[in-house]
Amino acid sequence: MGWQPERDKVVINVGGVRHETYRSTLQTLPGTRLAGLAEPGAAARFDYDPSAGEFFFDRHPAVFAYVLNYYRTGKLHCPADVCGPLFEEELAFWGIDETDVEACCWMNYRQHRDAEEALDSFESPEEAAAPEPAEPKRLCLEEGRPAGWWRRWRPRLWALFEDPYSSKMARYVAFASLFFILISITTFCLETHEAFNRIINKTETVPMANGSQWTQVALEVETEPFLTYVEGTCVVWFTFEFLMRVSFCPDKRDFIKSSLNIIDFVAILPFYLEVGLRGLSSKAAKDVLGFLRVVRFVRILRIFKLTRHFVGLRVLGHTLRASTNEFLLLVIFLALGVLIFATMIYYAERIGADPDDVTGSRHTYFKNIPIGFWWAVVTMTTLGYGDMYPMTWSGMLVGALCALAGVLTIAMPVPVIVNNFGMYYSLAMAKQKLPKKKNKHIPRPPQPGSPGYGPPHGSPGSPPRTHRRGPPCPLAQEEVVDINRAEARPNGAAALAQEDCPPIDQPLSPEDRGGGTGPTGPPQAAATGGGGRERCGRDRACFLLGPDYAPPPPGPLQEALLTA
């Protein structure tokens, strides 16, 4: 690039770091914020300091270096040490499309969105049952007692049965639920053991028409009564827990759609149906009882209730759903391998066979290709049951190739699934340890005489009026956090705005405005020169006041305080 005059250069101060470039460089991306600096009249539309000859932007300086380099080279790269949302916000501020990010950095840029989606999927129950925002408290709104009691206790009771980490009492409830789940599953398994079963002889004698009797032998197996009592106790707890959760859930529709809640209901229902139909002697009732005994296996589904209490089980479920494509790829690979090697083993075992053995039943297990499917699945998954194996040298060669292909086929998608599990587990633990966000500050209502309140009382042209304010709201006062002066000192004048400058809603005194000893004192602004930005001084402490702010004339109260 040839020599360009000094007036073609632009100095940009971003967060205290000066960057210098040419106007022609900024014009490479028209329509963006930086391209506007190269247009005529940019000094009037942007924060321009004529004394320093630079434009100022209070943005991230490290990210701006990558943005400016995009104007120079035409390639937008994402810094590896910057969080993705921060880089995304900076691109939006400078007016750059995120699709311009280079392919080598796109995964790093996209990673934060994947993490946010994963965090959203791990939304804890305590967030779903979080208390209402502090807006009613700040506005001192009072609600009726019934609605207030319900809104106050429903999230707590919901978290008590849904989130084991919400409180100490919730942990006790979780331990009780875990205990009953284990007892119920143990009882379900013991009911099938012969030591806990009794054979009941229900032989009946049926009289015949000719006066003779016919004996109908009937034997039934019944479970020991104490196991039934234990199961009934567990069902009572599960019923109580289910009713409490369905009563205090925030959204009934989402509650019904939940698979775990459906499992709870299905596991409880057969016990009550069996108890209700046990006293009936009709054939239909006996058929229903027989069916209910068969569907007792649904009680084993209670094991999935453990996902509410163990993060690892929830992570496993999310991993399986997130790895659907990998599982589908694994199934396709296995299906192709099974088809190929089942066909190969069938024809390989036919080599050198006895011509008189047409079906091959005397020298091989592989009488047809569908039977070879089972052998191929067992071999590719490296299980090797040994119920079927090749007997010829050609079949053994095919078996060795099948085992090697199975190892390679399974090894390809498994690392992706493992990485998904590791990512989800780390995000779940981070979500669990994430501190709760609290309202650090609640602005107070405007005070009489402040700009937001209206004309001060007693000022010229303002009608006299009586200000009525309700009693202070105790709920709002509880949310106010006092500033610790000892901790706020190292943070500079901005952190000490509540100490060193008047409140935002109060007009500045003449001493603070002018910097002199009285209302007629010389202003400080004159000492710093006209124009430019004031980088220090008490005028910059109240940074929320605009540069064109004009305070109203002082009222009688302010004049009395100034003359005192």
Q: Are 21 and 10 in contact (CB under 8 A)?
A: yes
Distance between CA atoms of residues 344 and 362, nearest Å: 19
> pLDDT at position 300, please?
80
Strand 9-14 versus strand 17-22 pairing type: antiparallel
pLDDT at 214: 73
Note the pLDDT of residue 139: 38
Task: Report which of 426, 428, 423 is spatially closest to residue 322, judged by C-alpha positions.
Answer: 423
* DSSP structure class, residue 243: H
How confident is the model at residue 550, as a pLDDT?
Answer: 56
Q: How far apart are CA 481 and CA 9, in angstroms?
A: 48
The domain covering 6-121 belongs, at the CATH homologous superfamily level, to Potassium Channel Kv1.1; Chain A (3.30.710.10)
Name the residue among 51, 83, 68 with its Cα closest to residue 17: 68
pLDDT along the chain (564 residues), means of 10: 64 93 90 89 89 92 92 88 84 89 81 69 49 41 54 85 84 90 89 82 72 71 84 92 90 85 85 75 68 74 78 82 88 94 90 66 80 93 88 90 92 87 81 61 48 44 42 40 37 36 40 42 40 42 46 55 51
Answer whether 6-121 and 321-433 agree in fold: no
Nearest alpha carbon to residue 339 among 365, 364, 363, 375: 375
Q: In angstroms, what CA-CA distances link 348 with 248, 263, 369, 404, 513? A: 66, 49, 11, 17, 99
Strand order in the sheet with 48-49: 17-22, 9-14, 54-57, 48-49
The top-level CATH class assigned to 321-433 is mainly alpha
Cβ atoms of 389 and 365 within 8 Å: the answer is: yes
Beta carbons of 306 and 314 less than 8 angstroms apart:
no
Q: Taking a C-beta distance cutoff of 8 angstroms, is the pair 403, 338 a contact?
A: no
User: Is 501 strand, coil or helix?
Assistant: coil
How many Å apart are CA 460 and CA 19, to the nearest integer? 51
Specify the pLDDT at position 352.
Answer: 65
User: Can you tell me the distance from the alpha carbon of 340 to that of 228, in angstroms, rounded to the nearest whole number?
Assistant: 52
Q: What residue ranges in 456-562 does DSSP mark as E strands?
A: none
Calpha distance 178→163 (Å, rounded): 13
* 3-class secondary-structure state, position 182: helix
pLDDT, residue 542, reads: 42
What amino acid occupies position 367? K
Residue whose token pair is 């840029």: 109
Alpha-carbon distance of 194 to 547, in angstroms, equals 89
Angle between helix 168-190 and 145-162 (nearest 10): 50
Pick left, alpha or beta for residue 552 (phi over 0 → left; psi -120 to 50 → alpha; otherwise beta). Answer: beta
- Helix 259-277, helix 283-294: angle, nearest 10: 140
Residue given tokens 């009680």 in the structure block: 299
60 and 15 Cβ atoms separated by less than 8 Å:
yes
pTM of the model: 0.54
Antiparallel, parallel or unpaired: β 197-201 and 204-207: unpaired
Check if the beta carbon of residue 504 is closer than 8 Å to that of residue 545. Answer: yes
The structural domains of the chain, with segments of one domain joined by +, span 6-121, 149-309, 321-433, 485-563
520: closest CA among 530, 512, 529, 510?
A: 510
Interatomic CA distance for residues 493 and 464, integer angstroms: 38
CB 255 within 8 A of CB 261: yes
444-451: long-range contacts at Cβ-Cβ below 8 A with a sequence spacing of 24 or more? 445/469, 446/505, 447/503, 447/505, 447/506, 449/506, 449/507, 449/555, 449/557, 449/558, 450/503, 450/505, 450/506, 450/507, 451/505, 451/507, 451/551, 451/552
